[in-house]
Amino acid sequence: MSLDPYNALITAVEPDLVPRPGRLSGKRLLVKDLIDTAGIRTTYGSKIYGDHVPDRTAPAVTRLLDAGAVLVGKANLPEFAWAVMGQNPFYGTVHNPAAPGKTTGGSSAGNAAALAADMCDIGLGTDTGCSIRLPSACCETVGLKPRWGSIDMGGVFPLCPTLDTLGPMARTVEDVALVWSVLKGEPVPEPRLDGVTVGLLRRPPTVGDGRATEPSDLAEGWAADLERLGARVVEAGVPEPTANTWPLFNHEALQSHRATYPSRADEYSDVCRTKLEVARRTTVDEVADAYRALEEWRRFEPEVDLYAAPCYTQELPPEDADELEVRLRFSEFLRWVNLIGWAGLAIGNLQLIAPHDETALAAGLAWSRG
């Protein structure tokens, strides 16, 4: 039997037999293969970087290793982390231990699958539009997309720097909070839902592109337990952006690939190439409008302390579904959180969203302890 039946790893690493002392001592760490590790192949999920071995380790990884975590491998992901599924044409599809035959979600697919299968204890992933939270929800694990700019992104291949975040993944909120604490050098927040005002989000805002989002009452299913834990639960919404924000994403993604696209276009997959060709048609005025809208949106101050929402609302797609067909609907409760820059904590399919990491984590810890 394969040691990796879920195809969760691109590169396995022989772990140190004697872990360093520290807050994470002995915890098996799986790092998304978008994040540099010195002397260990780091492919970014691509053919182009298939033999790439970085000289330096990303600062976030170093912090975890210095705290005693034991690196066991580099996690599989879609090409350049640009997909909501666990598919990769070069390294194979990641399989979902929690829902066989269904997608793991993406793009931190290998991390979530390995956690669900107990192949590691903690993971380090990235999230630009859904990429920590969606796989955590699909694989019934836990993951935090921190507030934008709160964790050092050094040594991470960029997708869209204005939205890119780096964050912890695990099987429990407690382990996610512990890894976050090590990454930030801040204490673990005290559990808290008592007295907190939680807004039920029944319809996510759009990204300003004119495509309506779908409402869902799934958040209602968590309301009674939130109230039992002392929260005040109310209806709440989030305002719409004042312009289409996709041009910002497209512009920055194209800039991230300028060294290899279109000069090496034949080494990209059809899916990634299609997205880059769309990005090339973005105009200067569209990009300027998108940046202005994002700056305005990030000044919004909510009337609630945090929001409760699902991560996804549809039946999980099959692992071989067409990513281009499912991506927008599948990620619409998640994508806006990156745009507005807030924190999002996925506990299975429950998403707790707040302007600050500490608020989401405190609520998540209280929720997990019941």
Q: What is the pLDDT of residues 166-198, one digit of tens each?
A: 999 999 999 999 999 999 999 999 999 999 999
User: Over the stretch 254-270, which tens digit does the pLDDT of each residue have?
Assistant: 999 999 999 999 999 99
Q: What is the mean pLDDT of residues 277-303?
A: 98
Q: DSSP assignment of 115-165, as one string?
A: HHTTS-SEEEEEESSSTTHHHHHHTT-EEEEPPTTSS--TTB--S-TTT-E
Q: Which helix (H) or strand (E) holds 198?
A: strand 197-200
Categorise residue 331: left if φ over 0, alpha if ψ from -120 to 50, beta otherwise.
alpha
CA atoms within 13 Å, Cβ hemisphere of 19: 19
Q: Exactly one of 46, 108, 131, 216 is catalytic; name it.
A: 131
Which pLDDT value is given to residue 98? Answer: 98
Residue 32 in this model has a pLDDT that exceeds 80: yes
Short-list 161, 165, 115, 159, CA closest to 137: 115
Spans of all domains in the chain:
9-184, 197-235+304-369, 246-293
* Six token digits for residue 285: 């005025």
Which pLDDT value is given to residue 50? Answer: 98
Neighbouring-strand partners of residue 166: 126
Q: DSSP assignment of 137-148, as one string?
A: HHTT-EEEEPPT
Cβ atoms of 137 and 311 closer than 8 Å: yes
Which pLDDT value is given to residue 183? Answer: 98
Homologous superfamily (CATH) for 9-184: Amidase signature (AS) domain (3.90.1300.10)
- For 254, phi and psi rounded to 5 degrees? -65, -40
SS3 265: helix
Which pLDDT value is given to residue 1? Answer: 40
Active site annotation includes 107? yes
User: Over the stretch 87-138, which tens digit does the pLDDT of each residue have?
Assistant: 999 999 999 999 999 999 999 999 999 999 999 999 999 999 999 999 999 9
Question: pTM, whole model, 2 decimals?
Answer: 0.97
Residue 39 in this model has a pLDDT that exceeds 80: yes
Cβ atoms of 89 and 273 closer than 8 Å: no
Residue 285 in this model has a pLDDT that exceeds 90: yes
The DSSP 8-state label assigned to residue 267 in this structure reads: G
Distance between CA atoms of residues 302 and 184, nearest Å: 25
Active site annotation includes 150? no
- For 117, phi and psi rounded to 5 degrees? -95, 5
Query: What CA–CA distances, in Å, run from 335 to 11, 81, 108, 240?
Result: 29, 14, 15, 13
Residue 17's pLDDT band, with cuts at 50, 70 and 90, is confident
* Six token digits for residue 215: 């409402």
Neighbouring-strand partners of residue 73: 12, 30
Active site annotation includes 136? no
Strand 165-170 relative to strand 28-32, pairing: unpaired
Short-list 195, 189, 188, CA closest to 306: 195
Q: Exactly one of 27, 32, 74, 275 is catalytic; name it.
A: 32
- Helix axes 357-369 and 173-184, enclosed angle (nearest 10): 150
Q: Exactly one of 27, 46, 74, 107 is catalytic; name it.
A: 107
Distance between CA atoms of residues 353 and 337, nearest Å: 8
Q: Give how far the C-alpha of residue 55 lies from the chain's centroid of Cα atoms, to the nearest Å.
A: 25
Computed over every residue of the chain, the mean pLDDT equals: 97
User: Over the stretch 139-157, which tens digit does the pLDDT of each residue have?
Assistant: 999 999 999 999 999 999 9
Which pLDDT value is given to residue 18? Answer: 83
Residue 313's pLDDT band, with cuts at 50, 70 and 90, is very high
Q: What is the mean pLDDT of residues 27-34?
A: 98
What proportion of the chain, given as a percentage, has pLDDT over 90? 98
The CB density around residue 92, as the number of other CB atoms within 10 Å, is 12
- CA end-to-end span of the chain: 38
